[in-house]
Amino acid sequence: MTTIYEVAARAGVSLSTVSRVLNGKASVNTEMADKVKRAASELRYTPSQKARSLASKYSHAIGVVLPNKNMLFSSHLLFSFEHILRQYQKHCVVAFSHDTLESENEAIEFLLSQGCDGVFVTTIASNPIASTTQHLQDKKHRVVALSKSELKGGVTGFSASIFEVAAYAFTQLRDLGHNDIALISDNSELVSHTNDISPALKSALSRLSTTGSASFRPELSVYVGSENTDDPLLDLLARDATFSALICTSDTLEQRIVSSAKELGMELPYDLSIITAQSPDSPLSTSKSTLSYSVSTVAYSTLDIAKVAAHYCLSTFYEQAAGEDTIDSTLPMSTAPIFLDYGSTVSFT
């Protein structure tokens, strides 16, 4: 193991100079810096993270708490998350929860005790964040959470919930010229008891409307159907609902709608445009490519979620305000990034 002393000796300077050059903190004489750099590369010097973490405030380790459920989703998320953070010389320490509040807290404590600078909690499946707030209160600044619903108690984080995805589906359809849109769901996050769209969805809609490209259209009419019947589509039509587009909230529901539409002699997507708003933690089906009809899927992209998460972690755990544009911004970034996901999606024609 080659140390900083050896580099200093070879470059003929003091070790503090070497440290400065390699960390780029203070300003150094150019030629000295060159000598140091040369010496370092010649000796293939790699700073010891162990010593570095002891001496400095940071270990550059970020903990990630993963759920036991929805492994496919979370591993894709982890993939992107690690990829981004490695570019910042951060490494990811993982610990799985078993989808209980207790095991999740155990995992957080474990990661923190192992010296992580902070922890990213992705256990959105069981969504214990809200109730665990008490426990996280004192270590707020060391935990970033990804939740299905809104975060409470001032815990840093963001939510990737179905209503934001659904709202995006609405705007997509609206931008395509649809003014009469139906939504079939029994999800209480989307549909309220009065069989109307939920307040959460409404606010998500208005958020998107103001930032969206198209102007807000108040004349948009929305029909809400329940998926809890034999034939949701027929049921909705029987209520004199007239709509040219329809949003459903799961793959299985979509299958039913499509076959039902075909039985009714409808042509897709001419008579009816169908779009599936996929929940972030639902197992993303990859069999879409076999569909012969035109159906769109809108869902969170794990890459985008990872970008936001990385942003939050970097700015929460470190001074380093790795701004929205510091991260590769081929894609825009916001608190609620929404994107078509997985190439298997068939787009509108």
Partner DNA sequence: TTGTATGCGTTATCAG
Partner DNA sequence: CTGATAACGCATACAA
Residue numbers at the binding site for a copy of itself (CB under 8 A):
46, 48-51, 53-54, 59-61, 66, 68, 71-72, 74-76, 78-79, 82-83, 86, 91-96, 110-111, 113-115
Cβ(277)–Cβ(165) under 8 Å? yes
Amino acid in the structure at residue 56: S
Distance in Å, CB of 56 to DNA, minimum: 4
CA quadruple 288, 292, 296, 300: dihedral, nearest 10: 0
- Going by the DSSP 8-state scheme, the letter that residue 328 receives in this structure is -
> Nearer to DNA by C-beta: 113 or 242?
113
> Nearer to a copy of itself by C-beta: 166 or 306?
306
Distance in Å, CB of 133 to a copy of itself, minimum: 21
> How far apart are the C-alpha atoms of 13 and 273, rounded to whole Å?
71
Residue 13 binding target from DNA, a copy of itself, none, CB below 5 to 8 Å by type: DNA
The string of DSSP letters for 104-134 reads HHHHHHHHHHTT-SEEEE--TTT--HHHHHH
29 binds DNA (CB under 7 A): yes
> How far apart are the C-alpha atoms of 93 and 111, rounded to whole Å?
7
> How far apart are the C-alpha atoms of 21 and 346, rounded to whole Å?
52
State which H helix or E strand residue 221 sits in: strand 221-225
Residue 153 binding target from a copy of itself, DNA, none, CB below 5 to 8 Å by type: none
Q: Is 21 helix (H, G, I), strand (E, B) or coil?
A: helix
**Region near DNA per CB under 7 A, out of 15-23, 117-125, 269-277, 338-346:** 15-23
> Nearer to a copy of itself by C-beta: 91 or 207?
91
Residue 4 binding target from DNA, a copy of itself, none, CB below 5 to 8 Å by type: DNA
Positions in 269-288 near DNA (CB under 7 A): none
Within 8 A by CB and 6+ apart from 161, the residues are 147, 148, 149, 189, 200, 280
Residue 76 binding target from a copy of itself, DNA, none, CB below 5 to 8 Å by type: a copy of itself
Distance in Å, CB of 148 to DNA, minimum: 37
Distances in Å between the Cα of 31 and the Cα atoms of 8, 18, 38, 45, 47 are 14, 12, 11, 19, 21
> Nearer to DNA by C-beta: 13 or 151?
13
Positions in 52-71 near DNA (CB under 7 A): 52, 54-57
> Nearer to a copy of itself by C-beta: 50 or 152?
50
> Nearer to DNA by C-beta: 45 or 170?
45
206 binds DNA (CB under 7 A): no
Calculate Rg over the CA atoms of the chain. 25
**Region near DNA per CB under 7 A, out of 17-25, 161-169, 296-304, 311-319:** 17-25
Residue 183 binding target from a copy of itself, DNA, none, CB below 5 to 8 Å by type: none
> Nearer to DNA by C-beta: 21 or 305?
21
The string of DSSP letters for 180-214 reads EEEEE---TTTB-TTSSB-HHHHHHHHHHHHHSSS
> Nearer to DNA by C-beta: 47 or 153?
47
- Going by the DSSP 8-state scheme, the letter that residue 93 receives in this structure is E
Q: Which residues bind DNA (CB under 7 A)?
A: 1, 3-5, 13-17, 19-20, 22-23, 25-29, 32-33, 45-48, 50-52, 54-57
